[in-house]
Structure 1
Amino acid sequence: MEKKCKSTYLIGEIGQNHNGSFELAKQIIDLAAMPVREKLFDLPVKGMDAVKFTKRDLTQELSASEMKKPYLSPNSFGKTYGEHRKALELSDEQHFALFKYAKLKNLDFVETLCSPSCLSLLKYFEPNKLKVASRDLTNLPLLEALAETKIPIILSTGMTGKQELDEALEVITRIHSKISILHCVSEYPTHPQHVNLRSLDYLLKNYGEYSIGYSDHTIGISVPVAAVAKGAQIIEKHITIDRSMKGTDQKGSLGIDGVRRMVRDIRLMEMALGREDIFIQDAVQAVRNKLERSLATNRTIMKGEIMLEEDIHLLSPGTGYKWNERFRIIGKKTSQIIYKDEIILPGHIS
């Protein structure tokens, strides 16, 4: 099975946000590799772990008639859908060059291969992980071909339910069990009411032998951060250097500031989760001493007087006796004068 990460494995999904441009693809890799700091505490935080690209064989995509259909969308890069898809494809050699560039940036390289023929890419390099798009979870011949590479596989469940997931796992686990499962909703962007983050609870409970994560298509960063709080070990999110660029995924992606904020907030969330216990942090002791209340006199008490409960009340700082320790002074004789509204200390009592 895929080894579970100590920190959340963050994948910047570039997909085809490069718009067919090799140089633009490199710029988005730079974005994923961007160092991030939390300014208030001056904390450097761990950045993204990986980038993801998609490789298609256009002869294995759509029917001939669909590929020839006019594509008149403002996001079109060609007169027909086939021309549009061709304009967005990078060659195997370009994917290899991007793999090497990502490695220079200390990033893993995840590749979505959309057909068995795309395994030609492996003549050039071996991705750290292979991703199965939600639409291909029922493409069992593809799953078998990918599993035979023995490369760890990430499954996205955006268009499937339990039966389809189990059938996919059955095919892959005949060969290996280095598998991650991402909850996903294939709606772009995903409406908040459709996210159903509690699917993570279900996956963690019923498929906990695998790494469980979340592939996000919502607007903003709140949902992936919440997913980490619920136990997601992997987060995948579309990223781009300019959300206003032409392209179907650009507007639903995180731009430069969004990437910085999501990485920061997820890493801070990891720090914040802590352990399952309730306790006093060492860091709050100074504040506790300053603000907590202690037993104090509500009148001046002369030396040799007997302390009575009606002689005390509670004031800050918290450096003296607490209310539940009042038995230590009630009925006891004072060893010195204690002026009104002063904290009663051990040296004040005989």
Structure 2
Amino acid sequence: MIKPPASTYIIGEIGQNHNGSVEIAKQIIDLAASPVREQLFELSLKGMDAVKLTKRDLKHELSAAEMRRSYNSENSFGKTYGEHRKALELDEEQHFELYKYAKEKELDFVETLCAPSCLSLLKYFEPDRLKVASRDLTNLPLLEAMAETKIPMIISTGMSGKKELERALEVISGKHSKISILHCVSEYPTHPRHVNLNTLDYLLKNYKEYIIGYSDHTIGISVPVAAVAKGAQIIEKHITIDRCLKGTDQKGSLGKDGVRRMVRDIRLMEMSLGTEDIFVQPAVKDVKQKLERSLASKKHLASGHKISESDLHLLSPGIGFRWTEREKIVGKILKKDIGKDEIITEDYLI
């Protein structure tokens, strides 16, 4: 079993948002590596932990008819769907170049592999984690081949239920137990009614031996932040340098400001969770003294006056006696005059 990370492991999914360009991919890696600041409290926050690319082998990807299919979409990079997919595919050397670039930026590198033949990538480098795409959770030969590498694996449940998940875990755990499970909904973008974040509760309760996380396809950043609040230890989100770039995933990805805000809010969420207890934070001490109420005089009271409860009311600041401590004042004699609406302290009492 992988030791759970000390903080949420945030993966910036590049996917195909590089549009077949190593240079664009490097710019997205730069985005993932960008420092994150919270200006009000002057906090330097931990940024993203990893980027993820996808490696396909087109010989084991699509049927011949699908490869020949005409593809006239505004997002097309070729006349046929096969030409389109080929234009978006980076070769192994390019993946290695991007791996080294990510490492220079102190980022982990995660690879989604879509066929056993893609494991030939490992002759260049070993990714920090291997990802199984949602569609391949039932691709048991692929799962077995990936598991044999003993590299930690992330599986995503976007197109599968409990039965498929159990079978996948059975295959992988036969080789190793370094497995993470991501709740996911393979709807792009995912409608809020379909997210069902409570699935995280189910996974956390029933799969305690694994790291549980969330792969997000919703619009915005609120759902991944909420997932962290529910206990997700990994967050995966598509990122891009420009949401207006050509490509089917660009509009559903986070741009530069979105990446900054999501990472910021997740890190602040982690910081905000605290401990399961109720207590007064030391930081509240000054505000508590300023705003809490103390027993005070309703009217001018002369020296020698015996204080009754009818002489008292409550005013700020909280530097005197509380209402629950009024027995320390009621029945006592004033040793000096006190004006109207003044806090009664021990200095006034005989």
TM-score by length of 1: 0.99
Q: Which residue of 2 aligns with 1:154?
A: 154
Aligned residue for 1:212, secondary structure, equals strand
Amino-acid identity (%): 75
Unaligned runs of 5+ in 1: none
CA distance, structure 1, for counterparts of residue 229 and residue 135 of structure 2: 27
CA distance, structure 1, for counterparts of residue 346 and residue 115 of structure 2: 78
Q: Which residue of 1 aligns with 2:139?
A: 139
Q: Which residue of 2 aligns with 1:238?
A: 238
Matched, 1:107 2:107: yes
Unaligned runs of 5+ in 2: none
Q: Which residue of 2 aligns with 1:49?
A: 49
The runs of 4+ residues in structure 1 deviating greater than 6 Å are none
Aligned ranges 1:62-211 → 2 under 5 Å: 62-211=62-211
What does the per-residue CA deviation read over 1:192-213, in whole Å, with 9 as the maximum and x for residues that have no partner? 0000000001101111211110
User: Post-superposition shift, 1:304?
Assistant: 2.0
CA distance, structure 2, for counterparts of residue 327 and residue 116 of structure 1: 80
Matched, 1:321 2:316: no
User: Post-superposition shift, 1:334?
Assistant: 1.7
One-letter code of the match for 1:286? Answer: D
User: Post-superposition shift, 1:38?
Assistant: 0.6
Matched, 1:259 2:259: yes
CA distance, structure 1, for counterparts of residue 289 and residue 79 of structure 2: 72
What does the per-residue CA deviation read over 1:197-253, in whole Å, with 9 as the maximum and x for residues that have no partner? 000011011112111100000011011111111111000000000000000100000
CA distance, structure 2, for counterparts of residue 42 and residue 191 of structure 1: 35
Q: Which residue of 1 aligns with 2:214?
A: 214
Aligned residue for 1:177, secondary structure, equals coil
One-letter code of the match for 2:200? Answer: L
CA distance, structure 1, for counterparts of residue 196 and residue 348 of structure 2: 61
Aligned residue for 1:317, secondary structure, equals coil
User: Post-superposition shift, 1:327?
Assistant: 0.8
CA distance, structure 2, for counterparts of residue 343 and residue 334 of structure 1: 13
Q: How many positions carry a matched residue from both structures?
A: 350
One-letter code of the match for 1:237? Answer: K
Q: Which residue of 1 aligns with 2:228?
A: 228
Q: Which residue of 2 aligns with 1:343?
A: 343
One-letter code of the match for 1:35? Answer: P
What does the per-residue CA deviation read over 1:142-199, in whole Å, with 9 as the maximum and x for residues that have no partner? 0100100000000000000011000000001111000000000000000000000000
One-letter code of the match for 1:126? Answer: E
Aligned ranges 1:258-277 → 2 under 5 Å: 258-277=258-277
One-letter code of the match for 2:155? Answer: L
CA distance, structure 1, for counterparts of residue 71 and residue 3 of structure 2: 43
One-letter code of the match for 1:282? Answer: P
Aligned residue for 1:202, secondary structure, equals helix
For the aligned residues, what is the CA RMSD?
A: 0.7
CA distance, structure 2, for counterparts of residue 235 and residue 335 of structure 1: 66
CA distance, structure 1, for counterparts of residue 208 and residue 72 of structure 2: 45
What does the per-residue CA deviation read over 1:64-114, in whole Å, with 9 as the maximum and x for residues that have no partner? 111111111111111111111000010101100100000000000000000
TM-score by length of 2: 0.99
Q: Which residue of 1 aligns with 2:29?
A: 29
User: Post-superposition shift, 1:336?
Assistant: 2.0
One-letter code of the match for 1:141? Answer: P
Q: Which residue of 1 aligns with 2:295?
A: 295
